[in-house]
Structure 1
Amino acid sequence: MPVVALAAAALALAGCTGAGPQAHAPSPTQTAWTEAPSATAAPGGGSTSFDANGTAEQNRTAFDTAIRGVLAGNAQADGNTVAAALKSAGFPPAATQVTASTTSANLQPGSIMVGVKIGDSCLVGQWGTAVDGYQSTVAPALGSGGCLIGGIPAVG
Structure 2
Amino acid sequence: MRRLDPRPCVVAVAVLAAIAALTGCAPDAQPGPGPAASETVASPTDAATPSSPTPTPSPTEPALDPDGSAEDNLPLFTEVVEKVWKTDDRVKGRAYIDALVRAGFDKASMEVTKDRSSVGIPADSIQFSVRWTDACLVGQVGPSTKKPAAVVLPHLPTGGCLVGETRPIDW
| TM superposition score normalised by structure 2 | 0.60
Residue 18 (structure 1) aligns with: none
Residue 125 (structure 1) aligns with: 139
Residue 77 (structure 2) aligns with: 63
Query: Once the 2 structures are TM-superposed, how far is the Cα of residue 58 of structure 1 from its aligned partner?
Result: 0.4
Equivalent residues, number: 113
Q: Which runs of 4+ in 1 moved over 4 A?
A: none
Aligned with 1:114: secondary structure? Answer: strand
Query: Once the 2 structures are TM-superposed, how far is the Cα of residue 70 of structure 1 from its aligned partner?
Result: 1.2
Query: Once the 2 structures are TM-superposed, how far is the Cα of residue 75 of structure 1 from its aligned partner?
Result: 6.0
Tell whether 2:97 aligns with 1:78.
no
Tell whether 2:163 aligns with 1:151.
no
Residue 91 (structure 1) aligns with: 105
Aligned with 2:156: secondary structure? Answer: coil
Give the 3 Å change call, closer, same or farther, for CA 115–60 of structure 1 in structure 2: same
Say if 2:126 and 2:140, in contact at 8 Å, map to a contact too: yes
Aligned with 1:57: secondary structure? Answer: helix
Say if 1:98 and 1:152, in contact at 8 Å, map to a contact too: yes
Say if 1:125 and 1:136, in contact at 8 Å, map to a contact too: yes
| TM superposition score normalised by structure 1 | 0.66
Write the letter of the residue equivalent to 2:169: A
Say if 2:69 and 2:134, in contact at 8 Å, map to a contact too: no
Q: How does 1:1-156 map to 2 (within 5 A)?
A: 48-74=62-88, 76-149=90-163, 150-156=165-171
Cα deviation, 1:60-94, whole Å, max 9, x if unaligned, reads 01101111111111263311111000000000001
Query: Once the 2 structures are TM-superposed, how far is the Cα of residue 117 of structure 1 from its aligned partner?
Result: 0.6
Q: Which has the larger radius of gyration?
A: 2
Gaps of 5+ in 1: 1-39
Gaps of 5+ in 2: 1-57
Write the letter of the residue equivalent to 1:151: T
Q: Which has the higher contact order (CA 8 A, sep 6+)?
A: 1
Query: Once the 2 structures are TM-superposed, how far is the Cα of residue 153 of structure 1 from its aligned partner?
Result: 4.1
